[in-house]
Amino acid sequence: MQDLRLTPTSYIVLGLLELSGEATPYALKQAVRETVGNFWTLQHAQLYSEPARLAEAGYLRQRQEERGRRRKRYSLTEKGQRALDEWRKEPPEQLYDFRDPGLLKLFFGADPAELAESQLELHRRRLASYEGMKSLDVGEEPRGPWLALESGIGHQREYIRFWERLAKTSGARKRP
């Protein structure tokens, strides 16, 4: 089994398999959409190729269904668990990439009042979604997902404050 360079996508696959125990690539895609996809962007095709790559290198166990659709199911090996544990201990050396289309348009001269209106709607909708997740009574959840959700809620509240302030100040400038 070969060693390979693990990427953020590798750790997403390892982490989601740790949480679920076993999953198909399609189940991983669904899990990303409902969890880390709220703060991490990745190509869905990677969730089909990455598990096979990790299995070939010994980080995952692959089991193919014998009947039906013969889907491949993946689970962590000891090597995969060790890699995930070691990665969690390493402090991040960079901040996240900040790619906000609304701010990009604002930078290049979009009308602040009009832009604020659409951005407020988007951020309020996302905040409501996050708060809905937070209100679910799911019993004993791992602390990490709830802490990440709290961060998302805080970010959305700050975006809403920013765009509300911009809407007020740019609206005042437009008045005769």
**CATH for 58:** 1.10.10.10
Half-sphere exposure of 91 (CA within 13 A, CB side): 1
Tell me, yes or no, whether 77 and 112 share the same domain. Answer: no
Domain count, the chain: 2
pTM: 0.75
Supply the DSSP symbol for 144: H
| pLDDT value of residue 176 | 46
* Contact predicate 176/66, CB 8 Å: no
Q: Which long-range contacts (C-beta less than 8 Å, at least 24 apart) are formed by 22-29?
A: 22/63, 22/73, 22/74, 22/75, 23/73, 23/74, 23/75, 24/71, 24/72, 24/73, 24/74, 25/51, 25/72, 25/74, 26/71
Q: Who's near 27: CB < 8 A, 6+ residues apart? A: 20
147/150 Cα distance (integer angstroms): 5
Is residue 1, in this structure, part of any structural domain at all? no
- pLDDT tens for each residue of 107-152: 899 999 999 999 999 999 999 999 988 877 666 666 788 888 899 9
pLDDT of residue 158: 96
Same domain, 26 and 47: yes
The reply to whether 113 and 170 lie within a common domain is yes
Domain span at 36: 8-89
The mean pLDDT of the chain is 88
